[in-house]
Amino acid sequence: MRIPGAPRTPVPSGLRAIVALLEAATGRKAYHVGKPNPFMMRAARKRINLSTDEVIMIGDTMETDIRGATDLGFRSILVLTGSSTLESLRDYPFRPDQVVGSVAELVEESVPA
């Protein structure tokens, strides 16, 4: 089992145990563990009655948050408070629409002077 979006990183054994427990309890095999999960993200968008062009994914990890947004056509904002850095952006074939150092910058942008 591997973490989606990070093919070289094995799923931690603790997560494997939880997945096995859920599979045993439900009698069903896990389809997808972790994010980005397009089914989960699409269902959330539909639940709050938004169209794709109305959604902005704000996240701090390229492999999960920004990749998930890109895969579904959502706009995305990368916050540099997680594992992704400006330097690491060149390692990905996709890009966020915007990069900020902190979510505080987004609040400052949205508050009229």
Choose among 71, 8, 20: nearest CA to 41: 71
Segment 61-107, tens digit of pLDDT: 998 899 999 999 999 999 999 889 999 999 999 999 999 999 999 88
Closest CA to 3 of 30, 23, 32, 31: 32
Q: What is the pLDDT of residue 80?
A: 96
* Tens digits of residue pLDDT in 2-49: 444 444 455 566 777 888 888 899 999 887 667 778 888 899 999 999
Neighbours of 111 (CB within 10 A): 7
Report pTM: 0.71
